[in-house]
Amino acid sequence: MSILLLDPPPTNPFGNMRHFGSIGTFKARIAYPPIDLLKIAGFLRQEGVGFKLLDANALRLPPETVLATIAADPPQAIVFPTSTTSLPQDMALAARVKAAFPTTLTVAFGAHVRAVPAQTLQEYPGLDVAIVGDQEWVARELARCHFQLSKVRGVWYREGSTIRGNPPHPPVEDLDVYGIAAHDLIDPRLYGDPLARRRPMTITYGQIGCPNRCRFCMSQVYGPVRRRSADHLVQELRFIADCGFKEVFFIDCGLTDSRTWAVSFLAALERAHLDLTWWALSRADRLDEDLLDRMHRTGCHSIGIGVESANAEVIRRVGKGVDLRQVKKLVRQIHRRRMRVLLYFQFGLPGETRQSMQETLDFALASQADFVTFGIATPVPGTPFYDELRERRWLHTQDWASYDPTRPPVYSYPGLSSQEIFAFAQEAYRRFYFRPGYILRRLASQRSWQEVRTNVVNFVALLQRYVFGWA
């Protein structure tokens, strides 16, 4: 085996979301396939490079089991995603790998690594390579160059006591060249999502990056938006259906950010007549009645919308550009098509006050959304949000494990403490999800025993985390 593609063990009972620049732990009983690794696997298979895939995150494997698996067939390189939150634990495993298998290269990718590659290599001696280009390209080139790091573009690497950065690899504008993710290599029983209507489910995407420049979002470290062709994405969906999957979550920052591309994709999907249901993320200002009709006709049942805050000053400062009246109207339009709405909110963004947090909660309670999340705004390297907090000396720590949107924030503002922000977020979850009327509506809306089971499991998880504080 040349390369082991590894999703590292989880850092908590709920598991981690490392792919596509994610930073935190799951807030509910969720397990997504490691799509970044599946994309690498599909490309390596297309290029004839030997590899194995291990999802220690979904399998809940301890580090000892991972090390034993490596010992059975030591690879020349281990390529793994990491995130700001999971970085210390992921790098502790990398250090153990290097101690046990000195000739095996440890190779990490992710938004954090991409933003500060030299710093990451300096902080963690067990890491050999930090990928700053496309992980698909770099994984192939590692094998092609016989793991001679000086010849691999798009990386920073360790050479003795020196840290070096290579030139970028040639830009890849056409994402179709990376082929189709290897969905056939995962165990479908491992994965699920509270919003999924059916199982088994998997995830994929049609584009990388985001045209928006919200100050808190790490998508900007991925550069300008690049897209797959609509036909290529539908080709992957056909493969997904042939593998037996029934549900897909599109993890694009905004599936409909380009209306032209979205119309092309939805038209191709409608022509394909695939037995798939799906949900996706979008922005309120990138949806209209025609797009909603097309999405509904092709199997979409839920849409996630980023609102972040209901306070005008907070929205202005982070560059979100959201119109709350538009959000309210969109919720009604989605519901008219019997689709569901998930609204994303964050507490702790620049300009936050006790009053602004209350405004956000009041908006959420009145929104008629089917689901909401109340995350803690988490500053990560590579974002203006992180830079502002660091420059103003409002950050409490550089312990990356604490940079988790389910834990107290690593910063305080004058007049608003970390603990106040966290306590309000906890209370917001209780206020939204434990309303008797909301619970009755959820029960009345169930369409299958699978939905009943999924909602019960996640309701228990909410009780554990936000009432009893067990998580």
Question: Cα(207)–Cα(2) distance, rounded to whole angstroms?
Answer: 29
Give the predicted TM-score (pTM) of the model. Answer: 0.94
> Are residues 209 and 308 both part of a single domain?
yes
Are 196 and 309 in a shared domain?
yes
Determine, yes or no, domain membership for 298.
yes
Buried b vs exposed e over 311-349: b needs ≥16 C-beta within 10 Å?
beebbebbebebebeebeebbebbeeeebbbbbbbbbbb
How many CB atoms neighbour CB 64 within 10 A? 10
- The reply to whether 179 falls in a domain is no
Residue 134 lies in a domain: yes
User: Domain check: are 316 and 211 in the same one?
Assistant: yes
Return d(Cα 408, Cα 420) in angstroms, integer.
Answer: 9
- Joined together, the tokens standing for residue 232 give 């290529």
Confidence of residue 194 (pLDDT cuts 50, 70, 90): confident
For 434-446, the pLDDT digits (tens) are 999 898 888 877 7
Residue 355: CATH number of its domain: 3.20.20.70
Q: Average of pLDDT values for 401-407?
A: 91
Is 335 inside a domain boundary? yes
**Domain check: are 201 and 105 in the same one?**
no
128 and 223 together in one domain:
no
Confidence of residue 392 (pLDDT cuts 50, 70, 90): very high
Q: What pLDDT, on a 0 to 100 scale, did the predictor assign at position 458?
A: 61
* Pair (199, 152) in one structural domain: no
Quick one: 344 and 275 in the same domain? yes
What does the pLDDT read at residue 45? 98
Asked if 143 and 202 sit in the same domain, the reply is no
Distance CA 390, CA 387 (A): 5
Number of folded domains in the chain? Answer: 2
The last residue of a domain, from among 165, 180, 200: 165
Q: pLDDT digits over 210-255, tens only?
A: 888 888 888 888 889 999 999 999 999 999 999 999 999 999 999 9
Q: Are residues 134 and 206 in the same domain?
A: no
Does a structural domain hold residue 20? yes
**Is residue 109 in some structural domain?**
yes
Using one digit for the tens of pLDDT, what is the confidence trace for 153-183? 999 999 999 999 999 999 999 999 999 999 9
Q: Do 135 and 277 belong together in one domain?
A: no
352 and 428 in a single domain? The answer is yes
Domain hosting residue 382, numbered range: 192-433
The pLDDT tens digits for 8-65 are 999 988 788 888 766 666 666 788 999 999 999 999 999 999 999 999 999 999 999 9
Give the domain-ending residue among 120, 147, 165: 165
Residue 129's CATH number: 3.40.50.280
Look at residues 148, 165, 182 and tell me which one is the last residue of a structural domain: 165
Residue 367 lies in a domain: yes
Q: Mean per-residue pLDDT for 135-160?
A: 97
With 0-12 / 13-18 / 19 or more C-beta atoms within 10 angstroms meaning exposed / middle / buried, residue 117 is: buried
465 part of a folded domain = no
Same domain membership, residue 154 and residue 204: no
